[in-house]
Structure 1
């Protein structure tokens, strides 16, 4: 799980415009929030790789997934066409809606790293 979050976090810095597009317009400073969430993903990704910090990082991952959920909802309901996706295409409606229950799966995966506490 850790390397996936590190890579996802790095992508926030490599292609920030991709993430800014799905930021709900009610949130201020979307670019800053994209960078902040990217940094958080890198930190939790590294944290779950270290046994001493794994449990705390897993709880932080759950909090992060809850915090970014509004962006996934906005992407699903707004019909925003996300430009700059790898491969050049925008995610389909099915993919945008599938991200919502995927967040639950990712939360359960992170919870597994808390040792069930």
Structure 2
């Protein structure tokens, strides 16, 4: 739920900053970029920190090799993508790349839910709500990629 909160709160605060006169944040499109970037900073950092990292490594489907390397790689991609979202010239490409990354990583979420794993000491999000969240996140990336 924390990624959704980061997306919503980050977008709302960026939109308010735009309404307060920060011209770079005028409109919903720039605000969405900030919200999605905040979400990916949050999730990207989790790829490198203690219990969260261990949980993410466990989430990698058993058939894939070198789960720790895969978690490190996806964490780096998430953080680089977050920076890319904040640069207007690269925002569309970054959002498209992050959308594809989310689609590529979704099977790990399915696998984790089916195996009843935990993340940060809590059960992973059940498959139904996780799928709904994934749709929201990918749709946000698509709006940034193809929007105004």
Deviation of 1:4 after TM superposition, in Å, equals 1.5
Q: 1:103 is matched with which residue? A: 134
Q: Distance in 2 between matches of 1:32 and 1:96?
A: 25
State the structure with bigger RCO (CA 8 A, min sep 6), 1 or 2: 1
2:23 matched to 1:23? no
CA contact (8 A) 1:75 1:96 kept: no
Q: 1:90 aligns with which of 111, 122, 125?
A: 122
Structure 2 unpaired stretches of 5+ = 1-35
Q: Match of 1:24, SS?
A: coil
Q: 1:79 aligns with which of 101, 112, 116?
A: 116
| Offset from partner CA, 1:38-66 (integer Å, 9 cap, x none) | 00100111111110000000100111001
Q: Match of 1:48, SS?
A: helix
Please show how residues 1-117 of structure 1 align to structure 2 within 5 Å: 1-15=36-50, 16-80=53-117, 82=118, 85=120, 89-91=121-123, 95-97=125-127, 98-116=129-147
Q: Which has the higher helix share?
A: 2
Q: Match of 2:136, SS?
A: helix
Larger CA Rg, structure 1 vs 2: 2
Corresponding pairs, count: 110
CA RMSD of aligned residues (A): 1.6
Q: Distance in 2 between matches of 1:38 and 1:19?
A: 10
Q: TM-score, normalised by structure 1?
A: 0.86
Q: Distance in 1 between matches of 2:47 and 2:97?
A: 18
CA contact (8 A) 1:59 1:111 kept: yes
| Offset from partner CA, 1:7-41 (integer Å, 9 cap, x none) | 21111011321201111101100000000000010
